[in-house]
């Protein structure tokens, strides 16, 4: 691995995670950029890749979404090109996310990469996710303000900015430095040089998304069909009022649906294993045979997981890419959740189990795992 991350994780989590922004100087010693600005521009021309170009001249902002056909009209100053989920599309860049697997995978969003020329940036803003901004090529000045209520406004329909803020961090970042920012802290990056930044983002779901996704699950699975009932009803003086005990009974009906532990796990596994950005899925061509898979693994070949694929174990229930997976070997399935690269020693006895080999072969043929060439 080219880039090694040095963070004292227990200390970082205790002092900073979700609490305070912090600069981690030289967290990637001797940092090597995994991508060039030209390669990033190439990705921003692909329809599958979510990209943006943000520019500013004399305080007038504009923004457009990719895919871009060319970059001919750009000057030498005042713009920034950003691509989301580069870890799904560019394997050397995906390596940058790997050392963050000390944090739960279901919290990971993606790796966003930005390339900015002098005067370029997205402007002062607030994010609703935790972000580790890694400084790559060039130096960039980052300012972070305190998480206090601030006015937000759109200087362009595709941009959400905040009013100017007093910095609590004002730093010039050099390659290999990391700026960690929890949700809600305003920040702004400014550069005098051509610069690359890599943002590893962790987004927590909000209650609205959880309720809406659970409601979809309830509909698909016919949950909560029982109707409100009130055999203890008494004569009302005021027919136009909903009484507190009735409200409470309604609330209990709803809470009861969410409280079924099995349904809750089945729903959350599907929800949390759903990728938030498109994956680069290609079914195996030609397909693997079961014998081939078994022989290769017994012979020491290593399996690689499709980058960005979410594979989760919730209390012995397994989920891959929005689907529940009933497996023939829970121990091996757990290893598939735990490691992104694995082989014989992690999969163990399951390699002798024809039912598990059949499942794994099917998953490989879907493009979820493959043998590194």
Q: Which residues bind ligand SIN (CB under 6 A)?
A: 80, 114, 121-122, 127, 131, 133, 187, 189, 197, 199
Q: Sheet of 323-325: strands edge to edge?
A: 311-314, 317-320, 323-325
Residue nearest to ligand SIN (CB): 114
CA distance 368 to 135: 31
Q: Is 293 helix (H, G, I), strand (E, B) or coil?
A: helix
**Nearer Cβ to Co ion (65/338):** 65
Separation CA 94–CA 372 (nearest Å): 15
> Which of Co ion, ligand SIN, none interacts with 317 (beta carbon under 5 to 8 A by kind)?
none
Q: How far apart are CA 370 and CA 304, in angstroms?
A: 5
Cα distance between residue 146 and residue 144, in whole Å: 7
Nearest approach in angstroms of CB 373 to ligand SIN is: 32
Q: How far is the CB of 14 from ligand SIN (least distance, A)?
A: 24
Distance CA 63, CA 44 (A): 14
Q: From Co ion, ligand SIN, none, which one binds at residue 175 (CB under 5 to 8 Å depending on kind)? A: none
Token pair belonging to 39: 């390669």
Cα separations in angstroms, 51 against 48, 63, 79, 115? 9, 11, 13, 11
CB nearer to ligand SIN: give 191 or 307. Answer: 191
Would you count residue 147 as binding Co ion (CB under 5 A)? no
CB of 346 to Co ion, least distance (A): 36
Give the Cβ contact number of residue 193 at 10 Å.
Answer: 11
Nearer to ligand SIN, 68 or 371 (CB): 68
SS3 label, residue 173: strand
Residue 224, sorted as left (phi over 0), alpha (psi -120 to 50) or beta, turns out to be left
CB closer to ligand SIN, 130 vs 359: 130
Q: Helix, strand, coil % (nearest 5) of the chain?
A: 30, 25, 45
Query: Using CB distances below 5 to 8 A depending on partner kind, what does residue 80 bind out of ligand SIN, Co ion, none?
Result: ligand SIN
Site string for Co ion, 160-179 (x = CB under 5 A): --------------------
Piece of the chain touching Co ion by CB under 5 A; list 41-49, 123-131, 160-168, 252-260: 123-131
Residues with Cβ within 8 Å of residue 39, at least 6 apart in sequence: 90
Give the whole-angstrom CA distance, residue 195 versus residue 250: 56
Q: How far is the CB of 186 from ligand SIN (least distance, A)?
A: 10
- Give me the residues paired with residue 111 across strands: 200
By a kind-dependent CB cut-off of 5 to 8 A, residue 133 interacts, out of Co ion, ligand SIN, none, with ligand SIN
Q: Is 290 among the residues that bind Co ion (CB under 5 A)?
A: no
- For the CB of residue 129, give the shortest distance to ligand SIN in the complex, in Å: 9
3 versus 199: smaller Cβ distance to ligand SIN: 199
Query: In this complex, which beta carbon is closest to ligand SIN, that of residue 135 or of residue 340?
Result: 135
Query: Interface with Co ion includes 127 (CB under 5 A)?
Result: yes
Helices (H), the chain: 9-15, 37-43, 91-94, 207-220, 244-258, 261-272, 290-298, 330-338, 344-347, 354-365
Query: Is 80 or 294 the residue whose CB approaches ligand SIN more closely?
Result: 80
Question: Measured from the CB of residue 157, what is the shortest distance to ligand SIN in angstroms?
Answer: 19
Minimum CB distance to Co ion smaller for 119 or for 184 = 184
Q: How far is the CB of 199 from Co ion (least distance, A)?
A: 7
Residue 53 contacts which entry, Co ion, ligand SIN, none (Cβ below 5-8 A, type-dependent): none
User: Which spans of this chain sit near Co ion (rule: CB under 5 A)?
Assistant: 127
């Amino acid at each position: 691995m080219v880039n090694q991350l040095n963070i004292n994780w227990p200390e970082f989590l205790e002092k900073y995670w979700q609490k305070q922004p912090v600069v981690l100087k030289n967290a990637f010693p001797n940092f090597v950029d995994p991508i060039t600005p030209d390669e990033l521009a190439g990705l921003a021309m692909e329809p599958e890749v979510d990209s943006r170009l943000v520019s500013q001249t004399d305080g007038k902002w504009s923004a457009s979404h990719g895919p871009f056909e060319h970059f001919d009209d750009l000057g030498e100053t005042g713009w920034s090109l950003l691509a989301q989920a580069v870890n799904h599309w560019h394997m050397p860049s995906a390596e940058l996310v790997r050392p963050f697997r000390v944090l739960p995978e279901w919290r990971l969003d993606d790796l966003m990469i930005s390339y900015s020329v002098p005067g370029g940036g997205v402007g002062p803003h607030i994010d609703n996710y935790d972000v580790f901004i890694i400084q790559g090529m060039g130096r960039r000045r980052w300012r972070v303000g305190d998480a206090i209520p601030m006015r937000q406004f759109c200087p362009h329909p595709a941009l959400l900015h905040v009013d100017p803020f007093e910095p609590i961090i004002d730093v010039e970042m050099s390659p290999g430095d990391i700026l960690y920012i929890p949700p809600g802290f305003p920040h702004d990056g400014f550069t005098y040089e051509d610069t690359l930044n890599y943002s590893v983002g962790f987004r927590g779901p909000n209650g609205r998304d959880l309720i809406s996704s659970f409601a979809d699950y309830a509909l698909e699975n016919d949950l909560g069909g029982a109707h409100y009932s009130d055999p203890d009803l008494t004569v009302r003086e005021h027919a136009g009022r909903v009484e507190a005990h009735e409200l409470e009974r309604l609330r209990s009906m709803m809470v009861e649906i969410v409280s079924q532990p099995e349904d809750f796990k089945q729903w959350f596994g599907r929800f949390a294993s759903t990728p938030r950005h498109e994956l680069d899925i290609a079914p195996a061509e030609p397909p693997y045979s079961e014998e081939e898979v078994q022989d290769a693994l017994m012979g020491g070949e290593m399996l690689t997981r499709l980058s960005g694929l979410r594979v989760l174990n919730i209390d012995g229930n397994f989920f891959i890419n929005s689907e529940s997976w009933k497996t023939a070997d829970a121990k091996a399935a757990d290893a598939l959740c735990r490691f992104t690269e694995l082989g014989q020693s992690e999969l163990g006895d399951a390699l002798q189990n024809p039912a598990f080999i059949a499942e794994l072969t099917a998953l490989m043929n879907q493009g979820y795992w493959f043998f590194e060439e």
